[in-house]
A and B are shown apart, each in its own frame.
Chain A
Amino acid sequence: MDEAELVARARAGEPAAERALYEAHVERVYRLVYRMAGDDDLARDFTQDTFVRAFEHLHEFRGDARFSTWLHPIAVSVALNGLRKVKRLRHREVELDEGLHVAAGGRAAEPDLKRRLAAAIEALPEGYRTVFLMHDVEGYTHEEIGTAVGVETGTSKAQLSRARAKLRAALADFAGEWAT
């Protein structure tokens, strides 16, 4: 069954079609929002909210693009809005906790690089961080990112370039290690 038929059946309220759509896309949505949130509870909440909203608004999907192209902007919007709320609520505590978590988690291998990289990614502006995680870490194309984030493809490219430059600058003292 192709995607258009699956969407049509889901729109008609067929539970098996809804489940099939969920199965086809949940992995990518969950991975993306987990990368953005770094927390399983938040990632679950964002993923669930994404699919609830998608199914509630499925009648608005006109089938001009792929379902994932329509779904991912919902996921990014849900995650960014959710993270802003969380940060407003516990700004200081979260920063401290994440710093400790990253430091503890990074000891297994190349602890200093991982810790410093995590801190540098955290320090990126929200737009840069989102584009960097989507492109360099999760493998989205600039076209997909542009649609999901609501920016032009050129803006996505520029933000990625600036994110990379900031990361290089933040980790400049490691440059000798990867140059060899």
Chain B
Amino acid sequence: MTTEHLDDEPLPEPLLGAARGYHQPPPVPREAMWSAITAERDRRRAARRNLRRLRWGLALAATLVLGIGIGRYGWISGATRAAGGAVAARGAPDAAYRVVTAQYLARTEALLTDFHAESRRGRLDPQFLASTRDLLTTTRLMLDSPAADDPRLGALLQDLELVLAQIAQLPQEPERGGDVDLINQGLSQRSVMSRLRAATPDAGAPTRIQGAL
């Protein structure tokens, strides 16, 4: 700094002209780069899909192991209970999905109920937002799973994904009232909470998840 002087004088034109020749860019290779960008994005999408499938497969495998235990006295409707051991052969995958779905729906309902209450008080702590992001990830796994083949549940999952993504992206600053109102309006207009409660097994047939999850 001792030998430097600070000034706002531009460099003399000959020097500036020479500087413009420094690393002079060639014509932009637009097409080649666009092809590389789309190829890379396709590759990443495929990798994400595979990862989701792998995660879902692992979750399903774990649940199936659990489901064998449950199969004897949990999550069995009256009809399948009467069928006894036959459920293990035919109904185990269905039961496994239903266990995971039931757990997921219960968690989501609890979180959205909390959101409604906490957002009214104007406080959504980072832990709540972290839980939302976790649940958003689970929702996307559910959308990729056979659980989403059911049209009613699939539509509900899509709405939940949207709502959870909106909550997860809420800014940290207090001035988020407008965003929160929009989310609450969306929940109300699409009857998300009532559809969620209707889809939760506890609200319908006498089912139970005993000793599991």
Tell me the A residues contacting B by CB distance below 8 Å: 19, 22-23, 26-27, 30-31, 34-38, 40, 43-44, 47-48, 51-52, 55-56, 59-60, 62, 110, 113-114, 117-118, 121, 132-133, 136-137, 157-158, 161-162, 164-169, 171, 174, 177-179
- Given A55-B41, A113-B14, A133-B23, 5 extra CB contacts under 8 A: A34-B25, A35-B22, A40-B29, A60-B169, A162-B6
Q: In the complex, A38→B25 CA distance in Å?
A: 8
Any A CB within 8 A of the CB of B150: no
On whether the beta carbons of B13 and A178 are closer than 8 Å, the reply is yes
On whether the beta carbons of B18 and A22 are closer than 8 Å, the reply is no
Q: How many pairs of A and B residues are in contact by the CB < 8 Å rule?
A: 105
On whether the beta carbons of A38 and B23 are closer than 8 Å, the reply is yes
Q: Which residue of B lies closest to A35 (CB)?
A: B23
Q: Which residue of A lies closest to B40 (CB)?
A: A52
Q: Which residue of B lies closest to A36 (CB)?
A: B23
Say yes or no: A121-B15 contact (C-beta < 8 A), given A44-B36, A48-B33, A59-B169: no
Q: In the complex, A161→B1 CA distance in Å?
A: 12
Q: In the complex, A47→B33 CA distance in Å?
A: 8
Tell me the B residues contacting A by CB distance below 8 Å: 3-16, 18-23, 25-26, 28-30, 32-34, 36-37, 40-41, 44, 165, 169, 171
Which residue of A34, A52, A59 is within 8 Å of B41 (Cβ)? A52
Q: Which residue of A lies closest to B16 (CB)?
A: A136
Say yes or no: A164-B11 contact (C-beta < 8 A), given A38-B23, A113-B18, A114-B21: yes
**What is the predominant secondary structure among interface residues of chain A facing chain B?**
helix
On whether the beta carbons of B30 and A43 are closer than 8 Å, the reply is no
Residues of chain B with a CB closer than 8 A to A165's CB: 4-7
On whether the beta carbons of B32 and A44 are closer than 8 Å, the reply is yes
On whether the beta carbons of B4 and A35 are closer than 8 Å, the reply is no
